[in-house]
A and B are shown apart, each in its own frame.
Chain A
Amino acid sequence: MGEIHEKYLRMDKMPHIWCAGCGNGIIMGAFITAIDRLGYDKDEVAAVSGIGCSGRITGYMDFNTIHTTHGRALAFATGIKLAKPRLKVFVFMGDGDAVAIGGNHLIHACRRNLDMTAVIFNNHIYGMTGGQFSPTTFKNKNATTAPYGTTDPDFDIAQLCIGAGATYVARGTSYHARLLTDLIVKGAEHPGFSVIEVITHCPVNFGRRNNFESPAQMLLWQKEHGVAARKAKTMPLEDMEGKFTIGELYRSTEIPEYLEEYGRVIQAANEEKKS
Chain B
Amino acid sequence: MAEAKLLSGNDACVQGALAAGVRFFAGYPITPSTEIANAFARELPRRGGIFMQMEDEIASMGAIIGASCTGTKAVTATSGPGFSLMQENIGYAAIAEIPCVIINVMRYGPSTGLPTSPSQGDFMQTRWGSHGDRPVIVIAPYTAREAYRETGRAVNLSETYRVPVIVLMDEILGHLRERVEFRDEDLVQEISRKGPEPGKPFLPYENTEDGVPPFADFGTGYRYHITGLIHDETGFPTNNPVEVDTIMRRVNGKLDMHIRDIERTRFVDADDAEILIVAFGSVARSAHEVVRTLRNEGKAVGMVRPVTVWPFPDEDIRTAVAGKKAVIVPEMNLGQMVREVERVVAGAVPVHALNRIDGLLVTPHEIRDLVEDLL
Contact = CB atoms under 8 A, between A and B. Distances in A.
Contacts of A43: 219-221, 223
B45 A265 contact: yes
Among A46, A58, A79, A272, the most chain B Cβ lie within 10 Å of the Cβ of A79
Nearest to A49: B227
Interface in A63-122: 63-69, 72, 74-84, 86-87, 104-105, 108
Give the dominant DSSP class at B's interface.
Answer: mixed
B225 A59 contact: yes
A64 B55 contact: no
A interface bracket (residues with beta carbon within 8 Å of B): 35 or more
B223 A78 contact: no
Contacts of B227: 58-59, 66-67
A69 B237 contact: no
A218 B225 CA distance: 32
A48 B95 CA distance: 17
Give the dominant DSSP class at A's interface.
Answer: helix
A173 to B, nearest CB: 28
Among A46, A48, A67, A262, the most chain B Cβ lie within 10 Å of the Cβ of A67
B67 interface: yes
A11 to B, nearest CB: 13
B236 A66 contact: no
Contacts of B226: 65-67
A173 B146 CA distance: 57
A87 B54 contact: no
Interface of A: 13, 42-44, 46, 48, 58-59, 62-69, 72, 74-84, 86-87, 104-105, 108, 262, 265-266, 268-270, 272-273
23 contacts: A43-B221, A62-B223, A63-B223, A64-B69, A64-B222, A66-B227, A67-B226, A69-B92, A69-B228, A72-B58, A75-B58, A79-B26, A79-B66, A80-B67, A80-B69, A83-B67, A83-B72, A83-B74, A84-B72, A84-B218, A84-B219, A269-B46, A270-B45
Interface of B: 23-24, 26, 42, 45-46, 48, 50, 52, 54-56, 58-70, 72, 74, 88-89, 92, 218-229, 236-237
Given A62-B223, A79-B68, A269-B42, 14 more contacts: A48-B66, A59-B236, A59-B237, A65-B226, A66-B218, A69-B62, A69-B228, A77-B66, A80-B67, A83-B23, A84-B70, A104-B55, A105-B62, A273-B46
